[in-house]
Structures are given as structure tokens and as C-alpha cells.
Amino acid sequence: MSMRMSYSTDVSDERWVLVEPVITAWKAAHPSVSGHQGRYAMREIVNAILYQNRSGCQWDLLPHDLPPAGAVKYYFYTWRDDGTDQTVHDLLRWQLREKNRRLADPSLIVMDAQSLHAAVGVPAGTTGKDASKRVPGRKRCLAVDVSGLVVEAVVLPASAHDNAAGVALLDGVAAQMDTVKKALVDQGFKKSVVDHGKKYGIDVEIVGRNPAEKGFVPQAKRWIVEQTNGILMFYRRLVRDYEHRLATSRSRVFWAMTSVMARRLTGATIASWRTA
């Protein structure tokens, strides 16, 4: 890594050890035709992705002491399309779950959908309006374990019903693992999601709120996904949906959680953007 002033988003030596094996294996499997090893260190490419995710800056506004936007884009989009971003993410999730004395894959998940405003310039064909929440944009859908770690992420137009989100999440979870036996959802999800879960042997429970309770009242276990949504809001690139492709929005979630999990595994913290 070149000598420069560090950013708070940079991966430390300890965190790079967690990520580096996947990136090195990828690099070895994709050699240059000319044999050239590349002008930029893979660690600096990852640092640039994490910097943009946390700061929310545009590609062309990446600091000049990080690799140029063109190089970072190439790796970000390539890793998005071949699943390397999720491979890194999943490896850290398994390690963190095992550190917390849990099996690598969960038996219980919590699912939720959050509507986000889309930025100007985002293609209209990939957005919609959430009629109930009156939010024009996209719907970020998460399936998390009981620790709030992301198991699956799906991004849809905000006009999509929560049922579509639930079905997509269940499909994604079932494609990855067969350990999940129960899923908790809120009342926005309906019977069609419950029925879809049965196809995979997943008991989908709709957790209703007490009508007597006013305002936001955390519901046992199901509130965990709300906590994860809150954590993602620290990553400014995820506060609003700026991405042209739904797959890019999904990849942003994986990189944000990769940063979170790498810090948890090494006992590190990062100041919130609200900190003076």
C-alpha cells in the first residue's frame, strides 16, 4: 500500500488479513493476458470502495491519493457481477457467528423491507412509489440473523409489495442454505409469503403489534432487523439510492456490512458521522 495519510475507513492490517484471502484468490484466478499484476494494490481498491460507501461521494470525487475512479469502478462492478462482494461478506459473517458461538448458518431469520428515496438520475424503470409510505424510489429488503447480520439482500422498486420482497428474500436464502427453519416478518407481509416459505420448509410467522401500544415499540427478535437498517444509515451511500442498477444497490449493502463485521471481528470502532 502506498504511503499516504490514512482515512478512518481504511482497512487495518488486522482487517485486511480477513479480506485478503478472497481477493488474492480472485486475482490469481483472473491473470492479465500480458502477465501484468496491475498498477494498483488490491488493498487500496478495497479502501476506495469502503471510503465511498461511508462518505457517499460521487465516483469522480474520490480523493486523489486513492486509486482513480476508473480502476475502482472496474473492480467494484466486476466483483458485483461475479459475486466476489458477497463471498467476502459471507466469509466474515460465518467467522463472526462462530466467534459468537453460533453455527455458521442460522436457523432463524428476520425479514423486513425499507423504502428509500431515489436520487435524481436514477432510471425511472427501476423505481416506483410506495403508496403506503408515500416514498418514491426503491425498496431495500433484508433477511438478517438474530445478531442482525445480513443473510440476504434484495432491492426492488418501491412500488413492489412487501409480498414480492418476502418471496425474493426466501428464494435467495433457500438458494444459499437449508438450515433456516423459521422467519419472522411484520404485518406488511401477507399469507402468500407464509405459503411460499412452506415450499422451503420455512415457517414464516407474521408478528403482529399490540393495538394498545402507541408509537414505535420494539418487538422481541423482530426488532433486530430495524437495528441493521439503522446501522446501514451510517453509510451515506445507502441513505438514498444513487445507483442505476438494482444489483449495485445490493452490493452496497454487502460492502457496508463487510466493514461492520471486519471491525467487530477485530474489536475496532469507527466514529459516527454525527460525532463532532
Other Cβ atoms within 10 Å of 43 Cβ, number: 17
CA torsion sign for 53, 58, 61, 65 is positive
Domain residue limits, the chain = 103-241
Sorting pLDDT into bands at 50, 70 and 90, what band is 217?
low
Q: Write the pLDDT tens digit of every residue in 100-139.
A: 999 999 999 999 999 999 998 899 999 999 888 888 999 9
Contact 180, 167 (CB under 8 A): no
What pLDDT, on the 0 to 100 scale, is given for residue 133? Answer: 82
Nearest to 205 by CA among 228, 181, 177: 181
**pTM of the predicted model as reported, rounded to 2 decimal places:** 0.92
Residue 34 has a pLDDT of: 65
Instruction: Enter the C-alpha cell of residue 112.
Output: 423486513
If pLDDT is split at 50, 70 and 90, which confidence band does 36 have?
low
Q: In whole angstroms, give the CA distance from residue 85 to residue 23.
A: 10
User: What average pLDDT does the chain have?
Assistant: 92
| Number of residues that make up the chain | 276
CATH number belonging to domain 103-241? 3.30.420.10
Residue 58's pLDDT band (cuts 50, 70, 90): very high
pLDDT exceeds cutoff 90 at 219: no
Q: pLDDT tens across 228-261, in order?
A: 999 999 999 999 999 999 999 999 999 999 999 9
Average pLDDT over residues 157-184: 96
Distance of CA 99 to the CA centre of its chain: 20
**pLDDT band (50, 70, 90) for residue 216:** low
- Residue 125 is predicted with a pLDDT of 92
